[in-house]
Amino acid sequence: MPLPLERPSKIVCVGRNYMAHARELGNDVPGEPLLFLKPPSALIPGGAPIVLPGASRQVEHEGEIAVILGRRLRLASEEEAREAISHVLALNDVTARDLQRSDPQWTRAKGFDTFCPVGPPVPVESLRERGLSLESLEVTTHVNGELRQHGRAGDMVFSIPFLLAYASEIMTLEPGDLVSTGSPEGVGPLHPGDVVKVQLPGLSSVENPVEAA
Ligand code: MG
């Protein structure tokens, strides 16, 4: 099964970007974006299994709205950042929650192979054609057909253009880079035999079975 996108140079992610999700894990909302990276080796397409690593006893889904950059961004304004977005897609920021708590940083918890399922990218032009804006995007997560998460971009602590501009002050964002914008509340465990589906309803979705290592 091929990936539905070109392999990015990096995957930039954001922690605690929805107030209700930060609180469900016992955290405050940060004063500025909390960025981390997932390795491109974690990417899988829909249909490929999420493999639960033996090192973790608590792997969880995080359904998120992600974007792809169509041009390079460095020290960008929010307006430049907005114009640089070429596609939006559904992304599952699969996380070993126990390792996220035990390790002082999140590389291991976020970085296992298969921990980044991605749906087909949708060009931003087709959003406009449907009367949708970045701010109107929604994301849902279902496990075995049951709704577990439902978030709206309008509820993010930091907007998508702000996140991109902020990241571009740290690292040059290259064309093709993937930026995921944080998970709404309702994260929960995945078990062998589960099927997890993250959707930007009507736009992009990614569904994966879950397997033990
Ligand atoms: Mg996340």
Give the chain's domains with CATH numbers. Answer: 11-212 (3.90.850.10)
Average pLDDT value for the chain: 96
Distance 131 CA to ligand 1 centre (A): 27
> What does the pLDDT average to over 164-181?
98
Which residues are near ligand 1, the ion (C-beta closer than 5 Å)?
Answer: 62, 93, 183
Distance 62 CA to ligand 1 centre (A): 5
Residues 6+ apart with CB under 8 A from 73: 80, 81, 84, 164, 165, 167, 168, 172, 173
Pairing of strands 50-52, 204-212: parallel
Distance 18 CA to ligand 1 centre (A): 10
Distance 12 CA to ligand 1 centre (A): 10
Is residue 113 over pLDDT 90? yes
Distance 36 CA to ligand 1 centre (A): 9
Distance 195 CA to ligand 1 centre (A): 19
Distance 13 CA to ligand 1 centre (A): 7
How high is the pLDDT of residue 142?
98
Distance 213 CA to ligand 1 centre (A): 22
Distance 58 CA to ligand 1 centre (A): 15
Q: Is residue 1 very low, low, confident or very high in pLDDT (cuts 50, 70, 90)?
A: confident
Is residue 140 over pLDDT 90? yes
Distance 60 CA to ligand 1 centre (A): 10
* CA separation for the pair 57, 160 (Å, rounded): 32
Least confident span in 21-25, 62-66, 149-153, 194-198:
21-25
Q: Structure tokens of 10?
A: 């990096």
CB-based burial label for 48 (10 Å; 0-12, 13-18, 19+): middle
Is the Cβ–Cβ distance between 70 and 195 less than 8 Å? no
Q: Is residue 15 very low, low, confident or very high in pLDDT (cuts 50, 70, 90)?
A: very high
Distance 15 CA to ligand 1 centre (A): 6
Is residue 22 over pLDDT 90? no
How high is the pLDDT of residue 68?
98
Least confident span in 9-23, 112-126, 158-172:
9-23
> What does the pLDDT average to over 32-46?
97
Report field, pTM of the whole predicted structure over 0.85: yes
Amino acid identity at 169: E
How high is the pLDDT of residue 164?
98
> What does the pLDDT average to over 135-141?
97
